[in-house]
Amino acid sequence: MKFIVAIVIFSIIILFHELGHFLFAKRAGVRVNEFCLGLGPTLVGFQKGETFYSIKLLPFGGACVMEGEDEESDDVTGSFQNKTVWQRISIVFGGPLFNFIMAFAGALIIISCVGYDIPRIYSVTEGYPADEAGIEAGDIITSINGKTIHFYREVSNYITFHGVGEMDITYERDGEEYEVTLTPVYDEESGRYMMGFQSDRSRVKGNFFDTIKYSVFEVKYWIDTTFSSLKMLVLRQVSLNNMSGPVGIVKTIGDTYTDSIEDGYYYVFLNMVNITILLSANLGTMNLLPLPALDGGRLVFLIIEAIRGKRVSPEKEGWVHGVGILLLMTLMVFVMFNDIRNIIVG
């Protein structure tokens, strides 16, 4: 069951991404030859109009195969390449956009059901920097080094992603704002840097407008987390061995399902929705990176075309994306091997 749940979640996220490309392509009048879920040989499919809808053998991935997207086409009206640059930009951007929409929909469910973790301090540890700076229980953290804080989890994340130097903390008490500067200290017992205040992990439910607002903040939180994780990877603060691909993601979903089932199906549902938010926001963000073979890489060429008013040579663009696909597949093989190794060792 946990394997089925993982595959369903993974498939829905990918399907929604490809649906974004599909709908914007249809809107622009581009012929979609095939819309498929999965990779490899076709298991089942049917033709409807100009499009063949199919499910492939391997449940990872999917595609919206458009006429003239990567090859020459004789279809003057239905070819991707014959559309205006702004139509093509909308089609390429449609996939990541739908991932963010899906993440927002999931965030609405979570915030509506259990609320959001307000960054209110529950207790302060005596002798630690927060105590010495005059921070008290009940204070609400509003920013760290100029970064606005909406959730309590952003506080600990900031230390993880941005180091442990001096931090300018802005907090609110009885409607008044105060600013202090403190430096986290290393705690031997927990093995991490601490400022000396804790949350009670409680969540707050707001009104309709609060739910909408904090759902947007939830999506933003996961986008920021994705970028911060990539930054740590580039700066070699974490190893490539910490990366996970489809195999690792399926295992994580399965483990979360197993841990949640003891608390009941309601908590299984909430945790699965939460993972869907994370993965969907992550997929949307990663696809917008300006790297060859990704949607972001294609957008770079389209933006250049829009600026200069002239299309980049298809041969040059094709060569760049071809190299990108090769490098991407190499990375995927490494990540999959790493996932399998971690499962065996773990």
Q: How high is the pLDDT of residue 246?
A: 74
Q: How high is the pLDDT of residue 102?
A: 97
Q: How high is the pLDDT of residue 259?
A: 85
Q: Greater confidence, 121 or 322? A: 121
Q: Tell me: the pLDDT tens digits for 301-319?
A: 999 999 998 988 888 888 8
Question: Is residue 105 domain-shared with residue 241, that is, in the same domain?
Answer: yes
Q: How high is the pLDDT of residue 153?
A: 92
Determine the structural domain holding residue 134 and report its residue range. 123-198
Q: Which of 18, 67, 69, 154 is an active site residue?
A: 18
- Distance, CA of 54 to CA of 65 (rounded, Å): 11
Q: Tell me: the pLDDT tens digits for 76-93?
A: 899 999 999 999 999 999
Angle at 94 between CA 91 and CA 100, to 5 degrees: 170
Q: How high is the pLDDT of residue 341?
A: 76
- Nearest CA among 72, 103, 78 for reference residue 285: 103
Residue where a domain terminates, one of 139, 163, 198? 198
Question: Is residue 64 domain-shared with residue 132, that is, in the same domain?
Answer: no
Residue where a domain terminates, one of 174, 198, 222? 198
Number of folded domains that form the chain: 2
Q: Tell me: the pLDDT tens digits for 212-232?
A: 999 999 999 999 999 988 888
Question: Is residue 9 domain-shared with residue 52, that is, in the same domain?
Answer: yes
- Distance, CA of 263 to CA of 261 (rounded, Å): 5
Question: Is residue 164 domain-shared with residue 286, that is, in the same domain?
Answer: no
**Entry pTM:** 0.89
Question: Is residue 178 domain-shared with residue 214, that is, in the same domain?
Answer: no
Question: Is residue 112 domain-shared with residue 171, that is, in the same domain?
Answer: no
Percent of the chain with pLDDT over 90: 55
Of the given ranges (26-30, 45-49, 242-246, 338-342), which has the lowest mean pLDDT? 242-246
Question: Is residue 92 domain-shared with residue 138, that is, in the same domain?
Answer: no
Percent of the chain with pLDDT over 70: 98
Cβ(19)–Cβ(289) under 8 Å? no
> For the domain that residue 169 is a member of, what is the CATH number?
2.30.42.10
Question: Is residue 64 domain-shared with residue 16, that is, in the same domain?
Answer: yes
Mean pLDDT, rounded, for 59-83: 87
Cβ(194)–Cβ(187) under 8 Å? yes
Q: Tell me: the pLDDT tens digits for 227-245?
A: 988 888 887 777 666 677 7
Residues 6+ apart with CB under 8 A from 239: none
Is 18 marked active-site?
yes
Q: How high is the pLDDT of residue 163?
A: 65
- Confidence band for 172, pLDDT divided at 50, 70 and 90: very high
- Distance, CA of 105 to CA of 215 (rounded, Å): 8
* Residue for token pair 């991490």: 192
Arithmetic mean of pLDDT over the chain: 89
Residues 6+ apart with CB under 8 A from 21: 64, 66, 91, 92, 94, 95
Question: Is residue 219 domain-shared with residue 186, that is, in the same domain?
Answer: no
Question: Is residue 327 domain-shared with residue 231, that is, in the same domain?
Answer: yes
Q: Greater confidence, 343 or 251? A: 251
Question: Is residue 231 domain-shared with residue 100, that is, in the same domain?
Answer: yes
Residue where a domain terminates, one of 198, 231, 253? 198
Longest distance between any two alpha carbons in the chain, whole Å? 75
Q: How high is the pLDDT of residue 116?
A: 94
Question: Is residue 88 domain-shared with residue 217, that is, in the same domain?
Answer: yes
Mean pLDDT, rounded, for 147-166: 85
Cβ(129)–Cβ(183) under 8 Å? yes
